[in-house]
Amino acid sequence: DGGITQSPKYLFRKEGQNVTLSCEQNLNHDAMYWYRQDPGQGLRLIYYSQIVNDFQKGDIAEGYSVSREKKESFPLTVTSAQKNPTAFYLCASSPGRGYTDTQYFGPGTRLTVL
Amino acid sequence: GDSVTQMEGPVTLSEEAFLTINCTYTATGYPSLFWYVQYPGEGLQLLLKATKADDKGSNKGFEATYRKETTSFHLEKGSVQVSDSAVYFCALSSTGANSKLTFGKGITLSVRP
């Protein structure tokens, strides 16, 4: 089955720790995205990548980092510099960079900082 | 910059009622417009989309028409079911080399049997 997988589904972190969220896709899509979802605020873009070894900051990149070493993988690291990291994180991919392209979403990772 | 405004929620309807969820947008050029649905505890799924003015997107009984004159993309369904209970997001993607989705805040729909 083609799709996007995110792991883990639930993640708990102590304050001051970095944590990495996994995102893998086997759709052969060029572009990948990370969003953060908070109650009542919709989705906000953290980072996106339109090609391997290249990525751009989204609207709320502070305290986060990413890498895109392989086409199918786009891990997100939540660093200790992120002031309020507790949220639901969604990864997405799209076939290309076009504005008509549909983004396909993974099931999400819920991060809780203890 | 780009923005999407959705009507305030939550919305509660009885089964077989008519549904309208309003969505208006601000964008430069001619964006593509999307409706996504999120079921409890899951990621988002594309419900429908329209890529140019006057296009109608449709899926699973839901419809939305891209109205450039009113900058709107309202979602409608003639008869909702309990299984339609979810959060609905309106989104746009602008033209440009680095296009990305801008989402509305989402609205929760609950359908009672």
Residue type, A14: K
Cβ–Cβ < 8 Å for B61, B112:
no
| pLDDT above 90 as % of chain A | 76
Q: Does A105 touch chain B (CB under 8 A)?
A: yes
- Tell me what pLDDT residue A41 has: 81
Per-residue pLDDT at A58? 92
Q: How far is B16 from chain A (nearest CA, A)?
A: 27
Give CA–CA dist B20/B13, Å, rounded.
11
CA distance B101 to chain A (A): 8
Q: Which residues contact A96 (CB under 8 A, 6 or more apart)?
A: A29, A30, A31
Under the banding of pLDDT at 50, 70 and 90, the label for residue B110 is very high
**A90, B89: Cβ pair inside 8 Å?**
no
Of the candidates A101, A102, A104, A97, the residue with the CA atom closest to the CA atom of residue A30 = A97
Checking DSSP bridges between strand B107-112 and strand B11-14, what pairing results, if any?
Answer: parallel
- Candidates A23, A27, A43, partner chain B, best to mutate (most B CBs within 10 A): A43
pLDDT in tens, B54-88: 999 999 999 999 999 999 999 999 999 999 999 99
Please check the confidence at residue A89 and state whether its pLDDT lies above 90: yes
Chain-chain contact of A43 with B95 (C-beta, under 8 angstroms) = no
Residue B44's pLDDT is: 93
Q: Per-residue pLDDT tens for B11-64? A: 999 999 999 999 999 998 889 999 999 998 888 999 999 999 999 999 999 999
State pLDDT tens for residues A16-58. 899 999 999 999 999 999 999 998 788 999 999 999 999 999 9
- Please say if the pLDDT value at position A77 is more than 60: yes
CA distances from A37 to A5, A109, B77 (A): 17, 10, 26
Spatial separation of the C-alpha atoms in residues B67 and B71, rounded to whole Å: 6
CA B11 vs. chain centroid, Å, equals 14
Residue A55, H or E segment: strand A54-57
Max CA pair span of chain B: 46
B80-103 pLDDT, tens digit per residue, is 999 999 999 999 998 765 668 899
Which residues of B fall within a CB distance of 8 Å from A99? 31-32, 93-96, 99
Question: What is the predicted pLDDT for the residue at B99?
Answer: 66
At residue A1, the pLDDT reads 62
| Whether B98 and A50 lie within 8 Å, measured CB to CB | yes
